[in-house]
Structures are given as C-alpha cells and as structure tokens.
Amino acid sequence: MDRRLALACPSLLLAAALVTGCAGGGTDTASGGSPSSSSAPAGGPATGGASTPAGGGAPTDVPAFPADTSPDTAEASGDALVTVTGIRAGRQEGYDRVVFEVEGTGTPGWDVRYVDEAASQGSGEPVEVAGDAVLQVTLTGVGYPYDTGVEEWAGPDPLPGSGTTVVTEVAWDATFEGTSVAFVGASAQVPFRVYALEGPTRVVVELADPS
C-alpha cells in the first residue's frame, strides 16, 4: 500500500465521524399531560424528542387526540415560576391550535377541562365567551410579573380565532395565587389534547374538528 494513502485514511475516517456526529438539529421537546396523553408515565408528564415540522405543523411526537372530552392535567416542574407572555390561535389540518407562550423558570403545569360557565377565579364573576362550549385552561406554576420579572400578556382580549373552525375566541381571565386562567370558546365540546414544548416554553391546546 502507498504510505501516503495509509497515513491519509485515519484522517478521512475522523472527518467522516465528525460529519456524522454533527448531523441533525435541535428539536422541541413535547411533554404530554394526563389522562388524555397515554405517553405520560406515573408521577409526571412525559418528555420525549418532538421535532416541529417545517410549516408549523404539529410536532411528530405528541399525545393522540382522546376518544372523549375528559379533563387533561399535568403537574408543573418543581422550579416553575412563569408568566404568560403571548397567546395565539390558528388553524391546522384537522384541528385548531391555541398556544400559550410563557417566560420565566421551569415548566408550567395545567388543568384543561370543559366548564358549563366561565367564571373569573377569585371573584367568581361571569366571563363572557363566544361559542357553544367553553374550555377552561388553567396554567399552574405561574407568578406575578413582579415575581418573575416578565411582562404579562396584555391582549387583545378576547383574542379572536384566526381562520379557525372550532375555536371562536380566547378570553383571558387573570393571574391569581399561582395560576393563570383563560377560556377558549368553541363551537362544540370536541376532543382536545394538551402538551408542552420547549425552546421557547409554551403550552399547546389543540381542539379536533367535530367528527
């Protein structure tokens, strides 16, 4: 064998290994809640690699839409202290999506369920929400802006659905004693799923089209 070729081979193998190790990119991490998410182990929400496809579609590893409309809950991380900084609603193929962006530390938990009437936490006063069904979204592990140093979302309130089929609007309630509440107006009580994503941290609520 030519001595020059023999000496070059280790360098070529090293270069190939470096290319292979660097392939791929960062991915969002999805955390599914329970009981709607079958991927959540006992004791806390599941966490797995969930990349978000180009074009804004759903991540490739998220809880499946449940067969019913049962509440979905997940615990906040022990260090959670976040503030909601943004809310947006949009349309995807087969479902509508509402995203709650947060900033601060840790990952918020949630309690998401249909309610007969929307009532403000703390005061109990009724909250007007357009639609035939109301999905209450309660985020936990939340702090006031003076605790987190993060400015809280300030509207528009209510936030209208943007080209949505099921979601009519999102009405913001308030932050009170470690929780933030919003109400998602819907055309009907349809199955929904909830999961968290990182980079940036956000809680995603998706409502399936009526069957």
- Mean pLDDT confidence for 11-36: 43
Residue 67 is predicted with a pLDDT of 92
Residue 60 is predicted with a pLDDT of 60
Q: Is 77 exposed, middle or buried (0-12, 13-18, 19+ CB in 10 A)?
A: middle
Provide the residue count of the chain.
Answer: 211
From CA 99, how far away is CA 37, in angstroms rounded?
Answer: 18
Q: Any idea where the domains of the chain sit in the sequence?
A: 3-208
Q: What is the mean pLDDT of the chain?
A: 81
Give the lowest-confidence range in 55-64, 87-96, 155-164, 192-201. 55-64
pLDDT tens digits, 116-131: 999 999 899 999 999 9
From CA 187, how far away is CA 26, in angstroms rounded?
Answer: 36
Q: Which amino acid is at 32?
A: G
pLDDT tens digits, 28-68: 445 566 544 433 333 333 333 344 443 445 566 788 999 99
Residue, of 136 and 21, whose pLDDT is higher: 136
Structural class in CATH, domain 3-208: mainly beta
For the entire predicted model, the pTM comes to 0.76
